[in-house]
Amino acid sequence: MPKRASPTTSTTSVRASGHAKPGSPARTPSRTPSRSSRSLATYHAKRDFTASPEPTGDFAKRASGKQRFFCVQKHLASHLHYDFRLEHRGVLLSWAVPKGPSLNPRDKRLAMMVEDHPFDYGEFEGVIPSGYGAGIVMLWDRGTWQAESEAEDLDVALERGELKFRLDGFKLKGSWVLVRTKRDDARSWLLIKHRDEWAGDVDIVAFAPLSVKSGGDFAHILAADDPDVWHSDRPARGGLAGSMFSSIIAEAAKLKLARAEGRPGRARPLTRRR
Ligand code: MN
């Protein structure tokens, strides 16, 4: 079975036109990005920008040189996950990594490819009150990335399902690989650290849990917004995410109250990065 829609399996377009050509617009949309399409249509379709503070992506950025932007956003929504994003062709290729990245080369972290995000999403940190991805977004790491082999066409590597690259972030560095799994879901990849001087046993998501943008945790980010935003309708009730929301909302309310009363509340958010 083909891992992704090909022009020959796209029966509707074949019937409609009679002679659909490879790469014609009738192909599967950006869910499985192909080399001819880097579109934000799926990103836009999932969101209501009158209700969400997320960037609309009106301002695309042109890549300059080999060093491109990467980031990891820690996202507490219906489940906690880490959104891993690599700049490519003016947008951010995106994978949702449920357990987050690991510095241990033995760990193969599941990474579900999701829709391309706008370039300016990469600096986003804040609260999504409702709709798709409702919850709290923290900018957990950022920096630059480059392909291991500069000669290789990145679109070819994506099609093949194996992308080797180097990261230079605050928390993540050195050589990594993303490989598509052989399972039926074409969106399913693995994020793996290569063995090098930046590999190790440190549990990086536990060791360096805070924002590289604000220095804060989820409660600080929520306190800077509105701790009461989900008074009727939390993004998650049960499970780990549900209990995280409960304690984060309570902590954020305390922080906000302390600030309003002119008390520092808890110690200032840590700014150290490791
Ligand atoms: Mn996410």
pLDDT digits (tens, 9 = 90+) for 214-262: 999 999 999 999 999 998 889 998 899 999 999 999 999 999 999 888 8
Tell me: pLDDT of 22 over 60. no
Q: Please tell me the least confidently modeled range out of 53-67, 112-126, 198-212, 245-259.
A: 53-67
229: CB partners within 8 A, 6+ apart = 127, 129, 222
Average pLDDT over residues 145-151: 89
Ligand 1 centroid from CA 76, angstroms: 8
Ligand 1 centroid from CA 271, angstroms: 24
| Residue 55 confidence (pLDDT) | 87
Ligand 1 centroid from CA 121, angstroms: 11
pLDDT digits (tens, 9 = 90+) for 172-185: 999 999 999 977 78
Ligand 1 centroid from CA 117, angstroms: 11
Tell me: pLDDT of 2 over 50. no
SS (H, E, C) 210-222: CCCCCCCCHHHHH
Tell me: pLDDT of 203 over 80. yes
Average pLDDT over residues 9-30: 38
Domain map of the chain by residue range? 72-260
> Rounded to whole angstroms, how far apart are CA atoms 216 and 102?
21
- Which residues place a Cβ less than 5 A from the ion ligand 1? 75, 83
> Rounded to whole angstroms, how far apart are CA atoms 218 and 83?
15
| Residue 18 confidence (pLDDT) | 36
> Rounded to whole angstroms, how far apart are CA atoms 155 and 34?
7
Instruction: Band the pLDDT of 4: cuts 50, 70, 90.
Output: very low
Ligand 1 centroid from CA 50, angstroms: 19
Tell me: pLDDT of 9 over 80. no
Q: Please tell me the least confidently modeled range out of 83-92, 130-139, 229-238.
A: 229-238
Average pLDDT, the chain: 84
Tell me: pLDDT of 75 over 60. yes
Ligand 1 centroid from CA 106, angstroms: 25
Q: Which of 43, 22, 46, 45 is nearest to 34 (CA)?
A: 22
Ligand 1 centroid from CA 133, angstroms: 6
| Residue 62 confidence (pLDDT) | 57
| Residue 149 confidence (pLDDT) | 87
Average pLDDT over residues 37-64: 80
Tell me: pLDDT of 165 over 70. yes
Q: Which two tokens stand for residue 70?
A: 């990467």
Tell me: pLDDT of 16 over 50. no
Q: Which of 102, 75, 119 is nearest to 190 (CA)?
A: 102
Ligand 1 centroid from CA 45, angstroms: 15
Instruction: Band the pLDDT of 27: cuts 50, 70, 90.
Output: very low
Between residues 1 and 131, the one the model is more confident about: 131
Ligand 1 centroid from CA 272, angstroms: 25
Q: Please tell me the least confidently modeled range out of 28-32, 65-69, 205-209, 210-214.
A: 28-32
Extended strands (E) in the chain: 68-76, 80-88, 91-97, 109-118, 126-128, 135-147, 162-169, 173-180, 188-193
| Residue 199 confidence (pLDDT) | 98
Instruction: Band the pLDDT of 263: cuts 50, 70, 90.
Output: confident
The DSSP symbol for 252 reads H
Q: Please tell me the least confidently modeled range out of 29-43, 68-82, 240-254.
A: 29-43
